[in-house]
Structure 1
Amino acid sequence: MSTSRNSSRLAKRIRRQTSLTQSTASRLAKQVHTYLGPPVADSPEPDQRRLEAHIAHVLASRFQDRQLNGALLGVQEARPVSGYLELTLESAMADEVLRELLPRFDEPFGGIRGVPGLRFLPADRGVVLHDALSQAHITVRRADGRAWNLPAARDGETPLWNRTRSGLSQDEREEARWWSESHPSLLDVRMRDLVMSRILRRPALVNRAAEPHGFANCYTHHSGDLVIEWCCGDTVEAFCGALLAHGFIDGLPPSDAIELTSPQSARLAGHTVILRRHTSCLYGHEPFSPRRITGYIREGYVS
């Protein structure tokens, strides 16, 4: 992508797919120096996209800035398989990924944690996470190939993941229905599902935010957005350029595709994905050095 011909071709595509000016499109295209191949295929099934989007949203909400080895959502690799998805998880985070995704009623919280209706089955060297309300599923595997430590309920929790399909709780049904419905902060459910599914299917791109220090920050405000925040490495424009070069906004209305709100922030797919970069490094000295923070994060997974 570094040649002027490739850059010009990408700039034209960005201009065609967005409401950005030609000069801005060219500026983004010139910052794309690595091409990872054709875009990862989207699932053709709405239920599959919805499940993948919900998984990405839950992991962003729960992990926030607790990543290891640059795995922003705990995911190192993603591979579409026959319309479904297979994920390779960062080894130290894998058990916690599984725990955060499986549904349980949290009494102190007063509601359900995890993905409502999600159930699991052991598979060859992995775990199949399937939706009790549809045919949607993903397979997760540990990068180190080791056995899983399956989760157990903690104090104040009632596990829901061990119920049968017919035993889906009313709370789970209501949560699943709420996720699938539009509301004032989420006007286009289909676009949300498509774009957040793409977040999960493109770890090699989204993990760029966590690459400099091994961790970054991700969080959500509501069911309709996902925020990625970092301080070093890619500029916001370079990060956006890489996403656009790999099909992240393909098929979206140009008016919603991308908005560069400042040199340090951008919005994609309306307000669905929000990118923010701090103007200076947050971890340049003790006691907040990357080495020390990584140690704290690792201890949290072990305990």
Structure 2
Amino acid sequence: MTSVSLKVVAAGVATTVQDLGRPGFAHLGVPRSGALDRPAAALANRLVGNSVDAAVLEVTLGGLALRTDAGCWVAVTGAAVPISVGGRPGAYAEAQWLPAGATLALGTPASGVRSYVAVAGGIAVDPVLGSRSTDTLSAIGPAPLVAGAVLPVGAGRSPVALDTPPRREADGLRLHPGPRPEWFATDALDRLCDGRWTVLPASDRVGLRLTGEPLVRREGELASEGMVLGAVQVPPDGRPVVFLADHPTTGGYPVVAVVDPADLWQCAQLRPGEAVSFRRGARA
């Protein structure tokens, strides 16, 4: 079977390699990382016949261009972008053949933030601690893509079936109560759900940073304690931060709530200036 590699012609605003991440190393201070929009990454892999844990490219606000040295199957999901395959319009959320020497190019999405590019066989960079994910906080794993970089691709196979993208509606982030209610006013969770929150430009893979009417909390800091994915931490200024895949494993600010894991993909697609709404999740 012919080996395949991809040359990065243009890296875009920010493109990283991501798979399912490296959970289980929090005791070493290593975040889990992995794709922020996991359903979109999983769909891209299914479309090209990969296993769900194959590494893909997470592309922030488009601009990526890749040239292949051998023909391969590719698919683009997540934030919908204009797609060019060998100079011709390509299809979104469909497996498509990228001929040898041709270029796959992504434009800028009209909405959403992160698109996912899967190639049959997966991005085969060397794993670190069992994962090929780029950890932007700890600089573990492959470096973010730059023009001129060459990405090895694993042995792939032809797509076996079509897959219909599921209907996704961003209808608010469901919350479950956090572990430190004594650090907040008694109505803190209600105020979080009823408040008007806006995404700040400083948001990234570490956390979704929000602004709005500050939550009332006690002064000071907690002793450092473990943090989980989706934790809504509140620093002294009262403006919440939703911890995402590259979040620190510990923190000293109280957690008012935790976002339901099924809703975290929405955080991957929210742009600075967009509104965020919260609602209480169902009780277990």
Which category of TM-score, normalised to the shorter sequence, fits these structures? under 0.3
- Relative to its length, the structure with more helix (as a share) is 1
TM-score norm. by structure 1 comes to 0.24
- Relative to its length, the structure with more strand (as a share) is 2
